[in-house]
Structure 1
Amino acid sequence: MHLPDFFALGSFGFGKQMLLVLLSVAVVAGFFMWAGRRRAMVPGKGQFVAEMGYGFVRNSLGKQLIGAHHFKPFVPLLFASFFFILVNNLYGSIPVLQLPTMSHAGSAYVLAAIAWLTWVGVGIKRKGLGGFFKDLTMPSGVPPLLYIILVPIEFLSNLLIRPVTHALRLFATMFGGHMAMMVAASLTSFLILEVGGVGAAASLASGALGIFLYFLELMIQCIQAYIFALLLAVYIQGSVSEGH
């Protein structure tokens, strides 16, 4: 999972994980540019898949969550976030590549930081600095005396803990799932090559477990891309709404 760098410039090392991140940008951009090159009224297969993916993000994540009046400016960010994370997660299930780049914490934290800056910036721009923090830390309908306790809790929860958990949720599932697959594969290889005999027979169980984990991880890779974009849409909705 943490392979040697291809090359290093001082303290900066460029390795497989960074290469795959750059490749994902080319894959996502290349596919949608290719699919939309003709813009036919009767779409072909590629255009149909691209339009279906765009429509899913636009309607399910943007329009339904952020609201029909506010969602349009944020569709590009939601669209890019979902498909960028999806491709980087799916690397873990592709033979030879076999590395979900979001299993490296730095990548997940950068995406969470972009999401955090977006919804905080939108909230301050729309409501003003005071109005944004008031809406974020002072829920309506609460006795004023309780604000002494609620304000610091809400501040920590929304502005500090929220971006951390946003990143950790993605990183931990990708890291843990890929680690489980590696353990199952290593155990199967060990039982066949090193133990033999009864061990080779027992490897059928570990091999079956590995196959099960592979398809489970494939499902989780898709779900985590959706959850990250979903939470981003929910946070933005809180920034553009009038109150909570």
Structure 2
Amino acid sequence: MVEAMGMLFAAESPDLPTVNDFLPPEILFQGTPFALNRIILIRIVATIILLIVLGITASRAKLIPGRWQSIVETGIDFVRESVVYQVMGETRGKRYVPMISTLFFTIFVFNLCGIIPGMNMAANATVVMPLVFAVWVLIQYWVTAVREKGLWGFVRDECFPKGVPWPVYILLAPIQLCELILIRPASLTIRLFANMVSGHLLVATALAFAQYWVIDATNKLAGIPIGALWFVFGFVLTLFEAFVAFLQAYVFAILSTVYISMSYPED
């Protein structure tokens, strides 16, 4: 058995995914400011599909919803009730339901691209899109804070909280300011980006091993059972990645709501 396994491993090694997969070459408009690579095309296609689906759903909405309209409305109600209103309350939350709903559905669809055949790459698997979403949240909670407290009032409340001995402010104030400007958006960006990258690598690795043992291995008789196990493992990881796609959209949405809510004066 050991010799058979050695013969299998002696064959050509599987083509495993690498970080280079997330930096694909340009395929359209090379050498111009409008150059597009695979992951940018995935973002464009996913955005168009999302806008078309939601636009058609809105245009055909009825007082008594059909099955598809009920699914869409359930998703919107989930974001409104279980994310925005639960964190901020209805009075404050109404203003931010469109923003948080846009973040949630866009991130969810972009994440799902990683398990859709033909795409096989999450649109959030590079740092650019998560950073764009995080900067939007950053701008929004600063705008909210300035509107509700004024610029100095917000900075004062966050950097110089009451009840803290004044020598502590020497350390606390820079840390708090760094959190407002860098740590919050960085945490949103890195969490989303890292989960999508790791998920893609795990699923692609499992399927690469499955292909290797079934197709490329020298000893097909011994390789097919091993390949079947790798394929089942890859399928389970794909289902888990679909759950992670939803979970990361939910976490991003609820943290964004929390950050915006923290910009309001305390009751």
Q: Distance in 2 between matches of 1:223 and 1:20?
A: 21
Q: Give 1:169-184 correspondences, 5 Å limit.
A: 169-184=191-206
How far 1:9 moved relative to its partner? 4.2
Give the aligned partner of residue 84 of structure 1.
106
Q: Which has the larger radius of gyration?
A: 2
From 127, 130, 145, the counterpart of 2:152: 130
Structure 1: 5+ residue stretches without partners:
none
Looking at structure 2, the residues matched to 40 and 10 of structure 1 have their Cα atoms a distance apart, in angstroms, of 46
Q: Which residue of the other structure, out of 139, 142, 148, is the alignment partner of 2:164? A: 142
Asked if structure 2 preserves the Cα contact closer than 8 Å seen for 1:89 and 1:100, the reply is yes
The equivalent position to 1:204 in structure 2, one of 218, 228, 246, is 228
Q: Do residues 239 (structure 1) and 263 (structure 2) align?
A: yes
Cα drift, residue 111 of structure 1: 1.1
- Describe the SS at the equivalent of 1:103: coil
TM-score w.r.t. the length of structure 2 is: 0.85
Deviations 1:77-130 (A, max 9, x none): 111111011111111111111111100111111111111111112112221111
Q: For each residue in 1:223-242, what CA deviation from the matched residue of structure 2 results, as whole angstroms up to 9, or x when unmatched?
A: 00111111110011011233
Report runs of 4+ in structure 1 exceeding 3 Å deviation: none
Corresponding position of 2:143:
121
Report the secondary structure of 1:6's partner residue: strand
Q: Deviations over 1:33-68 (max 9, x none)?
A: 222224322111122112111111111222121222
Q: Secondary structure at the match of 2:35?
A: strand
C-alpha RMSD of matched pairs (Å)? 1.7
CA distance in 1, matches of 2:93, 2:210: 49
Q: Decide which moves more: 146-155 or 4-13.
A: 4-13
Q: How many residues in Structure 1 have an aligned counterpart in Structure 2?
A: 243
TM-score, scaled to structure 1: 0.92
Q: Deviations over 1:6-55 (max 9, x none)?
A: 22243552122222222222222222222222432211112211211111
Aligned to 1:17: 39
Question: Does residue 1:101 correspond to 2:151, yes or no?
Answer: no
Corresponding residue for residue 173 of structure 2: 151
Q: CA deviation at 1:216?
A: 1.1
